[in-house]
């Protein structure tokens, strides 16, 4: 198998960590987002969306990080993607929530618009409105995650056991810290993210994004 990815990519890191944790035999092919390699015709032939990640398994090619994570977990028969109908539905539910609610307002609305020049809006006014809209809604989702979806008793997003939803969610929630948010406002989220950070593969997988985060003008960014 081969994974096209970039370590600064939020949607690549859950796959990098799952692959590392499980010793999945996959060739790791960096697509350099910073030089625009993904915009070239060679990569467009791999993914017409010109986005990472992409998984190749023989002649089967798969885009969409959430679908790839499920495919990998199923392929290696991992307990992190339970077979029980309802347990699996919970994992799917959580991953959809992360990929739609949280991602839209936290990643795109609040974080990317502030830290990636190509996501910046064309005028000061439109930038201010975009960030304020994202920030307010992202705070709401973070509170829902903290108080309702996690709560004080849950070790992981879907219950007492680690699932692929945790790999997926950690990468998005960590973005809040990338822009300098203090997660102590969300103690259950903080406890859970710290649990994920305690995994032996975390540091290497998150090294690139943390290095990037260290260069950001913290304190000047809107946080959640």
Ligand X SMILES: N[C@@H](CCC(=O)N[C@@H](CS)C(=O)NCC(=O)O)C(=O)O
Please tell me the distance from the alpha carbon of residue 102 to that of residue 96, in angstroms, as a whole number. 9
List the x/- string, 78-117, binding to ligand X by CB under 6 A.
Answer: ----------------------------------------
- Give the three-class secondary structure for 54: strand
- Give the three-class secondary structure for 125: helix
88 burial level (CB within 10 Å; 0-12, 13-18, 19+): middle
Q: CB 152: neighbour CB atoms within 10 A?
A: 9
Nearer to ligand X, 3 or 224 (CB): 3
CB of 81 to ligand X, least distance (A): 17
Phi, psi (degrees; rounded to nearest 5) at 136: -65, -45
CB of 176 to ligand X, least distance (A): 16
Using CB under 6 A as the binding rule, the residues of this chain from 15 to 54 that contact ligand X are 33, 38, 51-53
Nearer to ligand X, 38 or 139 (CB): 38
CB of 108 to ligand X, least distance (A): 9
Give whole-number Cα distances, 6 to 59, 85, 164, 190, in Å: 22, 33, 19, 26
With CB under 6 A as the rule, give the number of residues binding ligand X.
11
Using CB under 6 A as the binding rule, the residues of this chain from 58 to 77 that contact ligand X are 64-66
Which residues contact ligand X (rule: CB under 6 A)?
9-11, 33, 38, 51-53, 64-66
């Amino acid at each position: 198998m081969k994974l096209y990815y970039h370590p600064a990519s939020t949607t690549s890191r859950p796959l990098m960590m799952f692959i590392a944790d499980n010793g999945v035999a996959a060739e790791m092919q960096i697509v350099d987002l910073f030089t625009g390699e993904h915009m070239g015709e060679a990569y467009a032939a791999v993914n017409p969306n010109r986005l990472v990640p992409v998984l190749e398994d023989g002649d089967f090619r798969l885009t969409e990080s959430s679908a790839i994570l499920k495919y990998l977990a199923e392929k290696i028969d991992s307990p992190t993607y339970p077979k029980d109908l309802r347990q699996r539905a919970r994992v799917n539910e959580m991953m959809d929530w992360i990929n739609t609610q949280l991602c839209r307002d936290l990643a795109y609305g609040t974080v990317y618009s502030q830290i990636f020049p190509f996501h910046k809006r064309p005028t000061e006014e439109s930038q201010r409105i975009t960030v304020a809209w994202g920030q307010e809604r992202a705070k709401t989702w973070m509170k829902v995650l903290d108080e309702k979806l996690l709560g004080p008793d849950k070790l992981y997003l879907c219950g007492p056991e680690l699932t692929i939803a945790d790999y997926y969610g950690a990468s998005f929630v960590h973005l809040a810290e990338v822009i300098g948010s203090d997660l102590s406002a969300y103690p259950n989220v903080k406890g859970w993210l710290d649990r994920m950070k305690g995994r032996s593969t975390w540091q290497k997988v998150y090294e690139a994004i943390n290095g990037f985060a260290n260069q950001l003008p913290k304190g000047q960014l809107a946080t959640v």
